[in-house]
Amino acid sequence: MDESKFIQIWVFEPGEAGQEPIGRDELVEWMTARLDRSRVFTEIVEFRSPLAYPVWRTAEHVDVADHIRYLDLDGAGWDGFTAELARIVAAPMDLSRPLWELHAITGVRDVPGIPDDALYIVIKFQHAIGDGVEAVGISRRLFDAPDADVEKPEPEYVPPGLVRQVAAVPGQVVNMLRAARRTKEAVAELDALTASGEIPPAPAAVPNRFNSPASGGAVVVDVARRSLDAAQAARRTVPGVTVNDFALAVVSGAMREYLRHHGELGDDPVVVASPMSLVPLAERRRNPEQASNQFGMILVDLHVQEPDPRVRLEKIAESTAQGKRRSRSAPAMIATTALDDYPWWMARRVVAATHHAVEAGTGISANAMITNVPRGSSDLTFFGRRSLEAFNLSSVHSGFAMSITSLGSELSISFTANAAAMPDPQRFRRALEDSFDALVSALGSTDPDRPTVPVG
């Protein structure tokens, strides 16, 4: 199974004066009462056959206490907290039980904008549970958000017996060959449309220090925190620019500075892969259920060679628009969904070969993965405590992963990287903060009350 994980961090306000701290037994009782909020909490992934895709099965027993960790960092600062997050990210998950963990962390001190007695709740999911939007939905149900969605139960799929699975192999091979042929034809059509100028070309990534795979090495994490209101005000000064474009421009400035510091800022493009909806906004509004999960991966050139923040933002917005046009084209859709028609035994080999190519540095399509998942309003509660902030972390096989998150009026940009690729994560975090400030300034907007995190 893929090693990718979602880690969500929710920060809740301190308890009232004189209130007893939340104990581990209370956490277990609280979580036990909420197991029905999502099937993820009570189901396991079962590999019943090498010929059939794994299936979800309800666990006979869930030992809630075994999924919960309680840790007091005893006055540790931000760097101590991120070190603990790195350990949580790197730790493998036990595939024989439901794929979630809940970590309650206290004792984090001296973080500007966050009270010393705040409670940090870290929820860790394996990527098999769904995408980032689904992970956020699960957490909002868990924390009693008034607008939380209601999970729709899915019928349990029972694969056919082994005899029928073996008998189905010839048909699976035929479907796979047909999908491969469709893909070949789609790629040829895409190349022709690109050559004629009807569809923009995809940017070509060149391996750099960010492409060290996250597996097999020490992991580092950190988070830059800024005002979403400031980002909104700044991006509105450029017609057509979205918050996501703005955040990508912030990332671009940070990567530019980080590569420059290490003497590696050359002429090669820096490309990020970003999952985005392939359905136009108007269609998503007309048919939200049908369009809600139609996502694809677009490639965006960050134009790190451009020194002017405003010009770089405009170029990134154009690159993002081109990526959407290319990804939404019919041949691109056919090519990117071909694996859906592959049987499990072959799909697994394709994924393994892709991972091997990434590790060997011969098969990269991007230098980093960036996700953007809004958390919505901040009206969540935990033992009567209101939520203050939230951010995501992602761990992916390909190495450098970033997550753009918003909760209420807070914008955070977090990252996970291999320590060998990024031995100085605090420098990159400061580069993100400086890039945000420079971009806001270049666009003629200011935010004097923006929150910051301590410099390590």
pLDDT (tens place) for every residue of the chain, 456 residues total: 446 788 999 999 987 766 777 888 999 999 999 999 999 999 988 877 777 777 788 888 999 999 999 999 988 899 999 999 999 988 888 888 999 999 999 999 998 889 988 999 999 998 777 767 778 888 888 888 766 777 766 666 666 666 576 667 777 777 777 888 888 888 888 888 888 888 888 888 888 888 876 655 688 999 999 999 999 999 999 999 999 999 999 999 999 999 999 999 989 999 999 876 555 544 544 554 444 445 667 899 999 999 999 999 999 999 999 988 888 888 887 777 777 777 776 776 766 666 565 555 566 788 898 988 766 666 788 988 888 888 888 776 657 889 998 877 888 999 999 888 899 999 999 999 999 999 999 998 544 444 444 433
E-strand stretches of 47-145: 55-58, 68-76, 100-108, 119-126
Residue 170 lies in a domain: no
Length of the chain in residues, anyone? 456
Cα 309 off chain centre by? 25
Contacts of 398 (CB under 8 A, 6+ apart): 211, 213, 214, 358, 364, 366, 369
Residue 168 lies in a domain: no
Residue 169 lies in a domain: no
Residue 388 lies in a domain: no
CATH code for the domain of 83: 3.30.559.10
Is 382 strand, coil or helix?
strand
Handedness of CA 307, 310, 312, 313 (dihedral sign): positive
Residue 241 lies in a domain: yes
Q: Is residue 136 domain-shared with residue 189, that is, in the same domain?
A: no
Q: Is residue 115 domain-shared with residue 223, that is, in the same domain?
A: no
Q: What angle do CA 326, 328, 334 make, to 5 degrees?
A: 95
Q: How far apart are CA 333 and CA 340, in angstroms?
A: 12
CATH code for the domain of 189: 3.30.559.30
The torsion angles phi and psi of 193, rounded to 5 degrees, stand at -65, -35
Residues 306 and 208 sit within 8 Å (Cβ to Cβ): no
Output the pLDDT for position 373: 72
Q: Is residue 207 domain-shared with residue 87, that is, in the same domain?
A: no
Q: Is residue 186 domain-shared with residue 262, that is, in the same domain?
A: yes
Q: Is residue 339 domain-shared with residue 291, that is, in the same domain?
A: yes
Is 403 strand, coil or helix?
strand
Q: How far apart are CA 352 and CA 344, in angstroms?
A: 12
Cα 319 off chain centre by? 21
Residue 158 lies in a domain: no
Q: Is residue 273 domain-shared with residue 402, that is, in the same domain?
A: yes
Q: How far apart are CA 117 and CA 109, in angstroms?
A: 8
* Among candidate residues 120, 142, 164, the one where a domain is terminated: 142
Q: Is residue 128 domain-shared with residue 186, that is, in the same domain?
A: no
Cα 453 off chain centre by? 21
208 C-beta neighbours (distance < 10 Å), count: 22
Domain that holds residue 35: 5-142
* Among candidate residues 142, 168, 190, the one where a domain is terminated: 142
Is 145 strand, coil or helix?
coil
Is 174 strand, coil or helix?
helix
Q: Is residue 122 domain-shared with residue 219, that is, in the same domain?
A: no
Residue 184 token pair: 């070949």
Handedness of CA 243, 247, 250, 252 (dihedral sign): negative
Q: Is residue 116 domain-shared with residue 187, that is, in the same domain?
A: no
Residue 116 token pair: 């010393």
Contacts of 22 (CB under 8 A, 6+ apart): 15, 104, 119, 383
Type and span of the H or E element at 245: helix 243-261
Residues 334 and 286 sit within 8 Å (Cβ to Cβ): no
Which of 21, 251, 5 is CA-nearest to residue 131?
Answer: 5
Q: Is residue 80 domain-shared with residue 201, that is, in the same domain?
A: no
* Among candidate residues 142, 172, 190, the one where a domain is terminated: 142
Which of 226, 212, 243, 198 is CA-nearest to residue 360?
Answer: 212
Q: Is residue 240 domain-shared with residue 300, that is, in the same domain?
A: yes
Residue 118 lies in a domain: yes
330 C-beta neighbours (distance < 10 Å), count: 11
Q: How far apart are CA 141 and CA 38, in angstroms?
A: 8
Q: Is residue 96 domain-shared with residue 202, that is, in the same domain?
A: no
Residue 164 lies in a domain: no
Which of 315, 203, 184, 357 is CA-nearest to residue 270?
Answer: 203
Which of 380, 410, 372 is CA-nearest to residue 131?
Answer: 372
Q: How far apart are CA 301 and CA 314, in angstroms?
A: 12
Q: How far apart are CA 230 and CA 438, in angstroms?
A: 12
Bridge-based pairing of strands 410-418 and 401-407 is antiparallel
Q: Domain count for the chain, please give it.
A: 2
Type and span of the H or E element at 9: strand 5-12
Amino acid at 247: A
pTM of the entire structure? 0.83
